[in-house]
Amino acid sequence: CGLRNEESRIVGGQTTSMNEFPWMARLSYLNKFYCGGTLINDRYVLTAAHCMKGFMWFMIRVTFGEHDRCVEKSPETRYVVRVMTGDFSFLNFENDIALLRLNERVPLSDTIRPICLPTMLDNEYVEAKAIVSGWGTLKEDGKPSCLLQEVEVPVMSLQACRNTSYSARMISENMLCAGYLEGQKDSCQGDSGGPLITEREDKKYELIGVVSWGNGCARPGYPGVYTRVTRYMDWILKHSKDGCFCEHN
Protein backbone atom coordinates (compact mmCIF):
# COMPACT_ATOMS: atom_id res chain seq x y z
CA CYS A 1 0.00 0.00 0.00
CA GLY A 2 0.90 3.64 -0.25
CA LEU A 3 3.55 3.39 -2.97
CA ARG A 4 3.46 6.47 -5.18
CA ASN A 5 4.44 6.15 -8.83
CA GLU A 6 6.96 8.89 -9.54
CA GLU A 7 8.91 9.58 -12.70
CA SER A 8 12.12 11.11 -11.48
CA ARG A 9 -10.98 20.61 -5.04
CA ILE A 10 -7.31 21.86 -6.33
CA VAL A 11 -6.17 25.48 -6.62
CA GLY A 12 -2.57 26.57 -7.12
CA GLY A 13 -1.41 23.01 -7.72
CA GLN A 14 0.01 21.07 -10.63
CA THR A 15 -0.92 18.17 -12.85
CA THR A 16 0.12 14.78 -11.48
CA SER A 17 2.24 12.28 -13.37
CA MET A 18 0.41 9.37 -14.97
CA ASN A 19 -0.96 7.09 -12.20
CA GLU A 20 1.16 8.89 -9.62
CA PHE A 21 -1.53 8.30 -6.98
CA PRO A 22 -2.76 4.76 -7.74
CA TRP A 23 -5.30 4.82 -4.85
CA MET A 24 -7.26 7.69 -6.40
CA ALA A 25 -10.90 6.89 -7.15
CA ARG A 26 -13.33 8.97 -9.18
CA LEU A 27 -17.03 8.95 -8.31
CA SER A 28 -19.59 9.71 -10.98
CA TYR A 29 -23.36 9.93 -10.78
CA LEU A 30 -25.54 9.62 -13.89
CA ASN A 31 -22.25 9.64 -15.84
CA LYS A 32 -21.19 12.95 -14.33
CA PHE A 33 -18.05 13.27 -12.20
CA TYR A 34 -18.84 14.76 -8.80
CA CYS A 35 -16.51 13.55 -6.01
CA GLY A 36 -13.24 11.82 -5.27
CA GLY A 37 -12.47 8.79 -3.12
CA THR A 38 -9.58 6.64 -1.94
CA LEU A 39 -9.03 2.90 -2.37
CA ILE A 40 -8.17 1.42 1.05
CA ASN A 41 -8.24 -2.28 0.09
CA ASP A 42 -9.42 -4.35 -2.87
CA ARG A 43 -13.11 -3.96 -2.00
CA TYR A 44 -13.62 -0.62 -0.25
CA VAL A 45 -13.35 3.07 -1.05
CA LEU A 46 -13.30 5.81 1.56
CA THR A 47 -14.99 9.11 0.68
CA ALA A 48 -16.97 11.93 2.31
CA ALA A 49 -20.47 11.35 3.68
CA HIS A 50 -21.68 14.53 1.99
CA CYS A 51 -20.88 12.86 -1.36
CA MET A 52 -23.53 10.24 -0.50
CA LYS A 53 -26.37 12.24 1.05
CA GLY A 54 -29.30 12.61 -1.31
CA PHE A 55 -27.76 10.36 -3.98
CA MET A 56 -29.11 6.97 -4.98
CA TRP A 57 -26.00 5.02 -4.14
CA PHE A 58 -26.71 2.20 -6.63
CA MET A 59 -26.26 4.74 -9.44
CA ILE A 60 -22.78 5.76 -8.32
CA ARG A 61 -19.90 4.55 -10.48
CA VAL A 62 -16.37 4.32 -9.13
CA THR A 63 -13.41 4.32 -11.53
CA PHE A 64 -9.75 3.59 -10.85
CA GLY A 65 -6.45 3.97 -12.65
CA GLU A 66 -7.44 7.20 -14.36
CA HIS A 67 -5.37 10.27 -15.12
CA ASP A 68 -7.33 12.18 -17.77
CA ARG A 69 -11.01 11.70 -16.99
CA CYS A 70 -12.11 13.45 -20.21
CA VAL A 71 -10.59 10.89 -22.57
CA GLU A 72 -12.88 8.03 -23.57
CA LYS A 73 -11.23 4.80 -22.58
CA SER A 74 -12.14 1.83 -20.44
CA PRO A 75 -10.86 2.39 -16.91
CA GLU A 76 -11.45 -0.14 -14.16
CA THR A 77 -15.06 0.55 -13.12
CA ARG A 78 -17.10 -0.68 -10.16
CA TYR A 79 -20.53 0.00 -8.73
CA VAL A 80 -21.45 0.64 -5.12
CA VAL A 81 -23.37 -2.15 -3.38
CA ARG A 82 -23.35 -0.74 0.14
CA VAL A 83 -22.73 2.64 1.71
CA MET A 84 -21.82 3.07 5.36
CA THR A 85 -21.88 6.50 6.95
CA GLY A 86 -21.75 7.48 10.56
CA ASP A 87 -23.76 10.22 12.18
CA PHE A 88 -23.23 12.88 9.49
CA SER A 89 -24.97 16.25 9.51
CA PHE A 90 -24.98 18.96 6.84
CA LEU A 91 -25.39 21.50 9.67
CA ASN A 92 -21.85 21.12 10.99
CA PHE A 93 -20.22 18.57 8.64
CA GLU A 94 -19.39 16.44 11.67
CA ASN A 95 -18.45 12.80 10.82
CA ASP A 96 -18.09 13.55 7.10
CA ILE A 97 -16.85 10.08 6.17
CA ALA A 98 -18.31 7.18 4.20
CA LEU A 99 -17.22 3.68 3.23
CA LEU A 100 -18.30 2.28 -0.13
CA ARG A 101 -18.37 -1.47 -0.70
CA LEU A 102 -17.80 -2.28 -4.36
CA ASN A 103 -19.69 -4.89 -6.36
CA GLU A 104 -16.45 -6.72 -7.23
CA ARG A 105 -12.91 -6.71 -5.97
CA VAL A 106 -10.48 -4.39 -7.74
CA PRO A 107 -7.41 -6.07 -9.28
CA LEU A 108 -4.39 -4.49 -7.63
CA SER A 109 -1.49 -3.58 -9.91
CA ASP A 110 1.11 -0.85 -10.42
CA THR A 111 -1.59 1.56 -11.55
CA ILE A 112 -4.27 0.60 -9.00
CA ARG A 113 -3.08 0.20 -5.44
CA PRO A 114 -4.55 1.06 -2.02
CA ILE A 115 -3.33 3.81 0.28
CA CYS A 116 -1.87 2.87 3.67
CA LEU A 117 -4.04 3.67 6.68
CA PRO A 118 -2.64 5.39 9.79
CA THR A 119 -1.32 3.15 12.55
CA MET A 120 -0.42 5.80 15.14
CA LEU A 121 -3.85 7.04 16.10
CA ASP A 122 -2.57 9.77 18.42
CA ASN A 123 -0.55 11.43 15.64
CA GLU A 124 -1.99 14.88 14.92
CA TYR A 125 0.34 15.48 11.95
CA VAL A 126 0.91 19.13 12.91
CA GLU A 127 3.24 20.85 10.41
CA ALA A 128 3.28 17.71 8.25
CA LYS A 129 3.59 18.32 4.54
CA ALA A 130 0.43 16.83 3.10
CA ILE A 131 -0.75 16.36 -0.48
CA VAL A 132 -4.33 16.62 -1.65
CA SER A 133 -5.31 15.37 -5.10
CA GLY A 134 -8.44 15.52 -7.23
CA TRP A 135 -10.18 16.45 -10.47
CA GLY A 136 -11.96 19.41 -8.86
CA THR A 137 -12.16 22.96 -10.14
CA LEU A 138 -8.92 24.91 -10.56
CA LYS A 139 -10.54 28.04 -9.17
CA GLU A 140 -13.63 28.85 -7.16
CA ASP A 141 -16.74 28.40 -9.34
CA GLY A 142 -14.57 27.16 -12.20
CA LYS A 143 -14.88 24.00 -14.30
CA PRO A 144 -13.63 20.62 -13.04
CA SER A 145 -10.20 19.61 -14.30
CA CYS A 146 -9.73 16.86 -16.90
CA LEU A 147 -6.32 15.93 -15.51
CA LEU A 148 -5.74 14.77 -11.95
CA GLN A 149 -4.22 17.63 -9.94
CA GLU A 150 -2.19 17.70 -6.75
CA VAL A 151 -1.16 20.39 -4.31
CA GLU A 152 0.98 20.35 -1.18
CA VAL A 153 -0.52 21.92 1.94
CA PRO A 154 0.82 22.04 5.51
CA VAL A 155 -1.29 20.54 8.31
CA MET A 156 -2.29 23.02 11.01
CA SER A 157 -2.89 22.34 14.69
CA LEU A 158 -6.52 22.41 15.83
CA GLN A 159 -5.74 25.49 17.92
CA ALA A 160 -4.24 27.32 14.93
CA CYS A 161 -7.25 26.43 12.82
CA ARG A 162 -9.66 27.67 15.46
CA ASN A 163 -7.77 30.97 15.38
CA THR A 164 -8.37 31.49 11.66
CA SER A 165 -11.42 33.21 10.17
CA TYR A 166 -13.51 30.14 11.03
CA SER A 167 -15.29 30.34 14.37
CA ALA A 168 -13.67 27.96 16.87
CA ARG A 169 -16.85 25.92 17.38
CA MET A 170 -16.97 25.01 13.67
CA ILE A 171 -13.72 23.04 13.94
CA SER A 172 -14.19 19.83 15.93
CA GLU A 173 -11.59 17.30 17.05
CA ASN A 174 -12.77 15.03 14.22
CA MET A 175 -11.54 17.58 11.69
CA LEU A 176 -8.10 18.46 10.40
CA CYS A 177 -7.15 21.74 8.73
CA ALA A 178 -4.51 22.08 6.06
CA GLY A 179 -3.53 25.03 3.95
CA TYR A 180 -1.93 28.45 3.97
CA LEU A 181 -3.24 31.46 5.87
CA GLU A 182 -2.58 33.57 2.80
CA GLY A 183 -4.68 31.19 0.70
CA GLN A 184 -3.66 30.47 -2.93
CA LYS A 185 -3.43 26.68 -2.59
CA ASP A 186 -6.37 24.50 -1.62
CA SER A 187 -8.80 21.77 -2.58
CA CYS A 188 -11.97 23.00 -4.30
CA GLN A 189 -15.38 21.96 -5.67
CA GLY A 190 -15.27 18.40 -6.99
CA ASP A 191 -12.31 17.41 -4.82
CA SER A 192 -14.69 16.42 -2.00
CA GLY A 193 -14.18 12.92 -0.65
CA GLY A 194 -10.65 12.74 -2.03
CA PRO A 195 -7.46 11.96 -0.10
CA LEU A 196 -5.16 14.11 1.99
CA ILE A 197 -1.99 12.05 2.34
CA THR A 198 1.44 12.36 3.89
CA GLU A 199 4.70 10.49 3.35
CA ARG A 200 5.90 8.14 6.08
CA GLU A 201 9.52 7.42 6.94
CA ASP A 202 9.41 4.24 4.84
CA LYS A 203 8.51 6.42 1.80
CA LYS A 204 4.98 5.01 1.64
CA TYR A 205 2.01 7.34 1.86
CA GLU A 206 -0.78 7.16 4.39
CA LEU A 207 -4.24 8.68 4.40
CA ILE A 208 -4.71 11.37 7.05
CA GLY A 209 -7.71 13.30 5.77
CA VAL A 210 -10.79 13.23 3.54
CA VAL A 211 -11.66 16.45 1.68
CA SER A 212 -14.70 17.78 3.54
CA TRP A 213 -15.47 21.50 3.50
CA GLY A 214 -14.16 25.04 3.50
CA ASN A 215 -15.27 28.61 2.92
CA GLY A 216 -14.70 29.00 -0.80
CA CYS A 217 -11.36 27.76 -2.15
CA ALA A 218 -7.91 29.04 -1.27
CA ARG A 219 -9.34 32.17 0.37
CA PRO A 220 -7.00 33.93 2.82
CA GLY A 221 -7.83 32.97 6.40
CA TYR A 222 -9.86 29.91 5.41
CA PRO A 223 -7.78 26.72 5.15
CA GLY A 224 -9.30 23.52 3.78
CA VAL A 225 -11.07 21.35 6.34
CA TYR A 226 -10.71 17.57 6.19
CA THR A 227 -12.18 14.65 8.10
CA ARG A 228 -9.47 13.40 10.48
CA VAL A 229 -9.00 9.74 9.52
CA THR A 230 -7.26 8.66 12.75
CA ARG A 231 -10.50 9.34 14.65
CA TYR A 232 -12.36 6.78 12.54
CA MET A 233 -9.85 3.95 12.20
CA ASP A 234 -11.77 1.52 14.44
CA TRP A 235 -14.93 2.19 12.45
CA ILE A 236 -13.14 1.85 9.09
CA LEU A 237 -11.49 -1.48 9.99
CA LYS A 238 -14.67 -2.87 11.52
CA HIS A 239 -16.71 -2.19 8.39
CA SER A 240 -14.18 -3.19 5.72
CA LYS A 241 -13.11 -6.60 7.06
CA ASP A 242 -14.06 -8.58 3.96
CA GLY A 243 -11.65 -6.59 1.81
CA CYS A 244 -8.07 -7.75 1.45
CA PHE A 245 -5.41 -5.29 2.58
CA CYS A 246 -3.12 -7.41 0.41
CA GLU A 247 0.47 -6.58 -0.25
CA HIS A 248 0.95 -7.08 -3.96
CA ASN A 249 4.25 -5.26 -4.06
* Catalytic center residues: 50, 96, 192
Q: Please tell me the distance from the alpha carbon of residue 60 to that of residue 191, in angstroms, as a whole number.
A: 16
Q: 76-85 and 175-178 as β-strands: parallel, antiparallel, unpaired?
A: unpaired
How far apart (Å, rounded) are the C-alpha atoms in residues 100 and 82? 6
Host H or E run for residue 134: strand 129-134
